[in-house]
Structure 1
Amino acid sequence: MSERPRLVRAGRAMAVATAVSRITGFVRTLALVAALGLGTRLLDAYTAANVTPNTIYELVMGGALASVLVPLLVRTAADDSVDGDLFAQRLLSLVVYGLSIVVIVTIIVAPFIVGLSVPGFTPGQRELAVVFTRYFMPQILFYGVSATLSAVLNARGRFAAPMWAPVANNLVVIVTAVSFLLIGGTGRLESLTQGQTLLLSVGTSAGVAVQMAVLLLSGRRAGFRPRLHADPRGIGVRRIAAMAGWTIASVSAAQAVFVVITRLASHAGPGAVAVYSNAGTLFQLPYAVIAVTVITGVLPRLSRAAADRDLGRVIADLSQSLRLTGVVLVPVAAALITLGPRLTTVLFDHGNASPAAARLTGLVLAAYGLALVPFAAYQIMLRVFYALGDTRTPALISVVVSTVTVGTCLAAARLYHGPHLVVALAACSAIAYTTGLLLTAYALRRRMGRLDGHRLLNAHVRMLVAAALAAPATAGTAWVVGSATGTTWTASLLTVTVAAAAGGGLYALIARALRITEFRTLTAALRPHNL
């Protein structure tokens, strides 16, 4: 009997929202690359400053919000003795007050933060990065409020709205980048005026503020009134802190990884920081559209099943999530590996971007392709522990993964230098996430007794066989078309389109021949009469 595509159909709206969000996010990336120039010191300074608020937010609160609050809000909603709205309002108040203090402190110590994260920058880059960083720090508060409102909406079964909100952010930044070009902005750091700096600074932070405003409006439409309380106590801060303590430890380890990699990349040559960051952003696209949609949709269900002590349902949802994610991400990973440089030439070789930097981004992306499937599976499996109320085990595993990442990256830095180093850094992530996947699977099996392992292994082996057979056709088609058309942007676009169609079509045929039921489930759910 064919499997009913519950997760696919239930998550269709989320998938559409996430896809639009990520697509506009890539248009945003392309606009910034065209405006500031991939491979330039200007884009490196902007990139280093723009990721800093995200890093600090994750370090201070992001991991706790993502992994603890949704299960906690779900349990609170099921408890008739607790006023769910009052609980959420006090929680939001605590986030606002706490992160406001963080914003003030980080603005003051911005020079130290920049010096720590990018020691390889020139004095001019460092000075500009400090200016950008100070303008970008309020984003920490905006991200915190947005994440809290998203958790409230998710706990109430509203999944699509939080995934649409980043679209507003992306659109504001796209307008900012286009405006920068229209007023004569170039990729040269030396020619940047005060007005252009202010435009980039205010426009970027305004995007996150608009994203927060969209979620505030969505919360009100869902019946939640986002009021601040002078006294945010009464929500069990100690209990939340205890639950989030291990998560904060794992997030801290992950941010240590970010600092190490950014420091190493800043020594790899002009533009290396932005090259590595843009490849990572592209790597996250398929993961976000597919895996994050599954994670967001399944976490409240896993939390309810865990609360009911229904481990059978937990295992069934986990197995289906991993298999439906894998059937899409396995061929996507193969495509990234075989078509990476051509793909990034199509995406990034515009405006002030350097063709050499665009190609290097593709090589980094190809190395990242090795990590896509292990990373997605690892992230999905970690959520089961959070649903079970266990933050200690995933935190310990995450610390091990971060340790492996740092160790392999430092070893790579001894073996590789210059542009080759950023490719090696991406390859290190594949080693780390595969380690995390194996450790997480082992720990879950011990915790729950079984993992539907035979079915998972059988399905993924078939997917890998199908992708392995389709990959040579993809590479061969790319070589033939590329040899005939050359390496221009138009030629790369034609090569990627034809090669992807050939590889994707062959994968679909082999998947049917191998009777990969997840592929049939997916295609059945996407047929027009099911949309």
Structure 2
Amino acid sequence: MEPNRRVDPVTKVGEIGIKEEHVTGRVYRSAHSDDPGPIAPPARGSGAGPAGPAGAPAPGVGGAGAVGGAGVDSPAAVPPEPDGGGTATNSAVMALGGLVSRGTGFVRTVAIVAALGVGAVGDAYGTAQFFPSMIYELLLGGILTSVLVPVLVRRRKDDQDGGEAYTHRLLTLAVLALGVVTLLAVIAAPLLTALLAGERPADYQRLVTLLSYLMLPMMFFTGLSALLGAVLNTRGHFAAPMWAPILNNLVVIAMAGAFVVIFGSGPTIGEMGAGPILLLGGGTLLGVAGSAAGLWPALRKVGFRWRWRGGFRELDLPELGRLGAWMFCYVAVSQVGVVVLLRLLNSVDNAGDKAGVASYNVVYLLLMMAHGIIAVSIITALMPRMSAAAHDGRFGAVAADLSRGARMSAAVLAPVAVVYLVLAQPLVITLFQYGAVRADDAERMAAVLVVAALALVPFAVSQLFTFGFYALPDTRTPALVNIPVVAVRVLVQLGLFWALSSSLTAVGIMIGNAVSYVLAAGLSAWLLRRRVGPIGLRRVAVTFGKVTAAAAGAGLSGWLATMALPWSDAPTWWQAVLKLTVGGVAIAVGYLGLSRALRIREIDEVVNLVRAKLGR
């Protein structure tokens, strides 16, 4: 099949900005937590990921953080303004901002879990936090980064006024639309609760609805932040959009601390009166609003003064609709998977040994943390190269980078997966067993993390291949691939839900995610081969084999090291820390030694690639 050599200049820019949330489907909100994202749900492979309760893409329940803003890290983007800094400086600022954002996002999650626990109140908070993310991603999230940013860049280049009038009109229309949709969503809060939490008791549904009244307006400020960030990106200013989510994280961390001081940790639903609800919902909303407000000084710095402006016909809305149609399809299908996932998790009432939304979110955070720090760095480094090669018709170079990225992702993520698999219990105890989280809660989360370990590499590879289509550029194929991927995920999750005990609901859902990631990676690889030619699957398979052998040896080393320790299966916190340290060192040393012996060169390539990305 002859590769399609036509490249639409409108979609050439901003390809990196597709949020992880759009391609994953989790329940935990990533844009403001681990990254975690803009880039996240979140929302945040070809729709093969899970979505989280805090706003996410398809399979999981959470979000993952941004890949680097709105596609500003691409050579196709508008050259930086004088105050924007050079490419190396921008990359360094974005990398540092991303790490700090992920770090504070992780602390944010630990604080929330410590305050609320992973029982009914934690589930209610996670479910309510998901609503604004789901609606935002469906209506604007994916379309913004795949369509609006490239159009803003083009207008800035082509219009006589540098795209000022177009930008004012677009912001005016978007703010009005966000306001109307937010109002309707708040009115419909009880219906949303019935959709996603209809299996839970009436007092639980009441708590979700009351929290939703306060937290649904988050979608307005999330959309505003994304729009203002896009304006800054197209003017060569990258720091503020990367650092603003950190303010959100700090506000929520302070809110969680205040909750513990005032009301104590681990409340029951019966203890959630007006005061605790106002603090939780209002504090979370204040964080997102503060993140949006933090962008205004940067807008003034680049000389942008937003003025309300009508004349929406000048926006060429049919063009925007045409460009965003496939991304909307992609996100819409992913959200179906998220609804099913949340419905299943909310069928667990957390009585006894059952894990629900909150437990799943914690594990999904660990999955997305590893992916965001390692795999996203590889994707953002390769995207400009692949986009430039596709634009020039050098499809062999695109195929080579896809092969390289898959091999590097597997080589670097494998030891992380081994840690998750072998040291799940001490890891969860060390990171999350505080405040309201008890030892049995940690045990349930550890069981889910073991399965998540098997999903990590397939998820990263599926994400890479999805971005390979965006580099061509092609949003249609990922949207179509997402349909069978989400369908298989849902079918597996439903089947395991009926086949397994309720205590294993979260485990079964994560298994469904893992299966869908593998399917997404396989379908995407086959279709990419038809577009760009052979992508070196034989070499990828050889590297995967070596990585598997090294990972197995490292896992055995870590297991033997921890077994030598004289503690029971229920270690204390300090014992878990020591167990994690000893096992982690054994795994790292074993993996590095075996990778050298097996000549897995991709590890060195990753280090060199990241150093080059940072301009060093």
- TM-score, normalisation: structure 2: 0.79
Give the letter aligned to residue 200 of structure 2: F
Residue 268 of structure 1 corresponds to: 348
Residue 373 of structure 1 corresponds to: 457
| 1:185-229, Cα deviation, whole Å (9 max, x unpaired) | 342221223122111111101111122223343444455544443
Are 2:511 and 1:438 equivalent residues in the alignment? no
% of aligned pairs identical?
37
Are 2:173 and 1:94 equivalent residues in the alignment? yes
Q: In 1, distance between residues paired with 2:392 and 2:309?
A: 33
Give the letter aligned to residue 119 of structure 1: G
Are 2:295 and 1:215 equivalent residues in the alignment? yes
**Which residue, out of 586, 592, 596, partners 1:502?**
586
**Runs of 4+ residues deviating >6 angstroms:** 6-10
Helix, strand or coil at the partner of 1:346: helix
Are 2:152 and 1:53 equivalent residues in the alignment? no
Q: In 2, distance between residues paired with 1:327 and 1:101?
A: 47
Are 2:126 and 1:43 equivalent residues in the alignment? no
Residue 252 of structure 2 corresponds to: 173
Asked whether the equivalents of residues 402 and 432 of structure 1 are also in contact (C-alpha less than 8 Å), the reply is yes
| 1:455-506, Cα deviation, whole Å (9 max, x unpaired) | 4444333333322221111222233236379511111111111111110122
Q: In 1, distance between residues paired with 2:448 and 2:181?
A: 34
Residue 505 of structure 2 corresponds to: 421
Are 2:317 and 1:237 equivalent residues in the alignment? yes
Helix, strand or coil at the partner of 1:451: coil
Residue 196 of structure 2 corresponds to: 117
Q: In 1, distance between residues paired with 2:242 and 2:589?
A: 30
Helix, strand or coil at the partner of 1:389: coil
Residue 328 of structure 1 corresponds to: 412
Helix, strand or coil at the partner of 1:424: helix
Helix, strand or coil at the partner of 2:295: helix
RMSD: 2.8
The runs of 5 or more residues in structure 1 that have no matched partner are 1-5
Matches within 5 A, 1:303-322: 303-322=387-406
| 1:355-374, Cα deviation, whole Å (9 max, x unpaired) | 21122112112211211111
Residue 394 of structure 1 corresponds to: 478
Residue 148 of structure 1 corresponds to: 227
Q: In 1, distance between residues paired with 2:555 and 2:340?
A: 33
Helix, strand or coil at the partner of 1:83: coil
Residue 466 of structure 2 corresponds to: 382
**Which residue, out of 431, 435, 438, partners 1:354?**
438
Helix, strand or coil at the partner of 1:370: helix
Asked whether the equivalents of residues 115 and 256 of structure 2 are also in contact (C-alpha less than 8 Å), the reply is yes
**TM superposition shift of 1:408:** 0.4
Helix, strand or coil at the partner of 2:483: helix
Q: In 2, distance between residues paired with 1:268 and 1:87?
A: 49
Are 2:375 and 1:283 equivalent residues in the alignment? no
Helix, strand or coil at the partner of 1:121: coil
The runs of 5 or more residues in structure 2 that have no matched partner are 1-72, 75-86
Helix, strand or coil at the partner of 1:481: coil
Helix, strand or coil at the partner of 1:499: helix
Helix, strand or coil at the partner of 1:103: helix
| 1:147-206, Cα deviation, whole Å (9 max, x unpaired) | 233444455565554332221111100000001111133422212231221111111011
Are 2:251 and 1:139 equivalent residues in the alignment? no
Asked whether the equivalents of residues 482 and 491 of structure 1 are also in contact (C-alpha less than 8 Å), the reply is no
Q: In 2, distance between residues paired with 1:485 and 1:416?
A: 24
Asked whether the equivalents of residues 323 and 460 of structure 1 are also in contact (C-alpha less than 8 Å), the reply is yes
Give the letter aligned to residue 505 of structure 1: V
| 1:277-336, Cα deviation, whole Å (9 max, x unpaired) | 221122111111223344445545544443444434434444444344333212212211
1:465/1:264 CA distance change after superposition, 3 Å: same
1:401/1:257 CA distance change after superposition, 3 Å: same
Farther off after superposition, 433-442 or 15-24? 15-24
1:157/1:363 CA distance change after superposition, 3 Å: farther
Helix, strand or coil at the partner of 1:234: helix
Q: In 1, distance between residues paired with 2:376 and 2:322?
A: 26
Asked whether the equivalents of residues 232 and 299 of structure 2 are also in contact (C-alpha less than 8 Å), the reply is yes
Are 2:273 and 1:189 equivalent residues in the alignment? no
Asked whether the equivalents of residues 418 and 587 of structure 2 are also in contact (C-alpha less than 8 Å), the reply is no
Asked whether the equivalents of residues 11 and 297 of structure 1 are also in contact (C-alpha less than 8 Å), the reply is no
Instruction: Choose between structure 1 and 2: higher helix proportion.
Output: 1
1:91/1:474 CA distance change after superposition, 3 Å: farther
Residue 242 of structure 2 corresponds to: 163
Give the letter aligned to residue 473 of structure 2: G
The total of aligned residue pairs comes to: 524
Asked whether the equivalents of residues 111 and 253 of structure 2 are also in contact (C-alpha less than 8 Å), the reply is yes
Q: In 2, distance between residues paired with 1:227 and 1:317?
A: 43
Asked whether the equivalents of residues 34 and 352 of structure 1 are also in contact (C-alpha less than 8 Å), the reply is yes
**Which residue, out of 286, 306, 310, partners 1:206?**
286
**TM superposition shift of 1:381:** 1.6
Residue 107 of structure 2 corresponds to: 27
Give the letter aligned to residue 423 of structure 1: V
- TM-score, normalisation: structure 1: 0.90
**TM superposition shift of 1:91:** 3.1
**TM superposition shift of 1:73:** 4.4
**TM superposition shift of 1:276:** 1.2
Asked whether the equivalents of residues 189 and 213 of structure 2 are also in contact (C-alpha less than 8 Å), the reply is yes
Asked whether the equivalents of residues 221 and 288 of structure 2 are also in contact (C-alpha less than 8 Å), the reply is yes
**TM superposition shift of 1:77:** 5.2
1:72/1:468 CA distance change after superposition, 3 Å: farther
Asked whether the equivalents of residues 128 and 212 of structure 2 are also in contact (C-alpha less than 8 Å), the reply is yes
1:198/1:324 CA distance change after superposition, 3 Å: same
Asked whether the equivalents of residues 342 and 359 of structure 1 are also in contact (C-alpha less than 8 Å), the reply is no
Give the letter aligned to residue 169 of structure 1: N
